[in-house]
A and B are shown apart, each in its own frame.
Chain A
């Protein structure tokens, strides 16, 4: 077993060697511009991008023509929200999203608010899922778009996408989903799930960084977007810019592998995750799993170790790469807004660790991680005045703290 161990697959994934091999010729040999219509270099590049389009479409139940290539999911999310808001401005200006969305959605919404849109940020329940009745009630005759993520990047919970899509369809509202964490990990089907727009990214599914796609439905309904980048009119006028052919080949190959291996990989991920969970919950008291376990990515475990601060825990397991929702590990010095949205209290956000398992993790690694985390949590609890007080039976919520 090699150290350090990577267990932060929600942040990014390594490129699968098979993906890398598929990409290799497109750096130097097959280098044409897919928009060059009059010579074989261009044709070869176009053939490669069209193959990728088909591979992506096959993974999500779409048709090749519905795939728009982008630089990644942040761009896809921006294009979906801004493109719809601008295109459908005459119909309405109201967008519905959720408090636990990725910043690429939330900050895009904030900008749209400055340009006259009205945005409803649905709260989530304690299990991390939105309340469908609240969604229904939030829809008005001005609502043009609902954007709710498929799977959450921190707590891995799967929103009731199919039902959301159904509600959107019934009310004549478009439905966009940020599918970054879900595509390639769990079955996603844009027809069955009633999805009109879907963002996905290459580097979350063992493809390269710098490439992503936006699925844009072509029929019932035909979704239109106002382009947000002007130029040569690539991608049916929706996203100008010379295609990143090499990256696109990698994204396509990553999708093909994901589709083929998904049933087996889902089982393996769930088994590794459950093994880690069993270890941590059986050997430590007062650990809390954040978000529903019932509707969840098979590779996600987000867990709070009460009375232990996340950054100090990361420091003790410095040969393991994971993330924390603690304020000290964030750029803003604020604890995770996703965990706060669950309403469990900031202290549990400070104590949270996100384990993101992936294709290249082994049982041996999981056992090492489990042992190490148990050891460090025990050590830090020996250091923790809160653990001591809790053991003395003091109710920490009743203590008057000197907030600072």
Chain B
């Protein structure tokens, strides 16, 4: 399969790889996927509780190049956004940005789920009412 240049760039130079302290109350952690399905994404956000702005975002992904690129791109987009803006990121935005082929749309959905899961975790920690629970199964 031929990869787009943007996928190759994220694969070769992944942004924001790493882990934040998951016990920190200002850190939200989302982990989606399963090893037997061939992809697991861990995405974390660190939020300034005063402003609601995401100060930092990190990821680690087990998965194909498109899954790595989708999560890498997601962390880039998350930095500087408010949590509500973050929830507005849709998988189709990722598909368009990375020119993902149809068989890889799944990777972008996983990234959207990871964002949602991370924000939900942050809001739960902050005692805020949760948005739609992240139970989507696909």
Contacts and interface: CB of A to CB of B under 8 A. Distances in A.
A393 interface: no
B65 interface: yes
B63 interface: yes
Contact of A350 (B35, B41, B42, B68): B35
Given A312-B65, A404-B137, A386 B35 contact: yes
Interface in A337-355: 345-347, 350
A386 B136 CA distance: 22
Given A315-B65, A383-B17, A404-B33, A309 B38 contact: yes
Contacts, number: 90
Most buried by B among A312, A327, A386: A312
A327 B38 contact: yes
Given A312-B64, A315-B11, A404-B110, A350 B19 contact: no
B12 to A, nearest CB: 9
B33 to A, nearest CB: 6
B115 interface: no
B60 A347 contact: no
Interface residues of A, number: 28
A132 interface: no
A373 interface: no
A346 to B, nearest CB: 4
B25 interface: no
Contacts of B138: 404
Interface stretch (A54-62, A219-227, A259-267, A395-403): A395-403
Interface residues of B, number: 32
Interface in B17-31: 17, 19, 31
A148 interface: no
Interface in B36-50: 36-42
A311 to B, nearest CB: 4
A383 B68 contact: yes
Contact of A396 (B14, B35, B61, B136): B35
Interface string A347-370: 100100000000000000000000
Given A404-B32, A404-B110, A404-B137, A315 B3 contact: yes
Contacts of B33: 401-402, 404
A403 B38 contact: no
Nearest to B3: A315
B61 A384 contact: yes
Interface in A361-391: 382-388
Given A309-B64, A311-B65, A315-B11, A404 B34 contact: yes
B34 A403 contact: yes
User: Interface majority SS on A: helix, strand, loop or mixed?
Assistant: helix
B132 interface: no
A404 B31 CA distance: 12
A309 B39 contact: yes
A386 B60 CA distance: 9
Nearest to A386: B62
Contacts of B35: 346-347, 350, 386, 396, 401
Contacts of A388: 19, 60
B76 to A, nearest CB: 15
A161 B10 CA distance: 48
A396 B103 CA distance: 27
A396 B33 CA distance: 13
Given A307-B62, A311-B64, A402-B32, A386 B40 contact: yes
Contacts of B40: 385-386, 401
30 contacts: A307-B62, A308-B62, A309-B62, A311-B65, A312-B11, A312-B65, A312-B67, A315-B11, A326-B38, A326-B64, A346-B35, A346-B38, A347-B35, A350-B35, A350-B38, A383-B14, A383-B61, A383-B62, A383-B68, A385-B31, A385-B40, A386-B40, A401-B33, A402-B31, A402-B113, A402-B134, A402-B137, A403-B36, A404-B32, A404-B138
Interface of A: 307-309, 311-312, 315-316, 326-328, 333, 335, 345-347, 350, 382-388, 396, 401-404
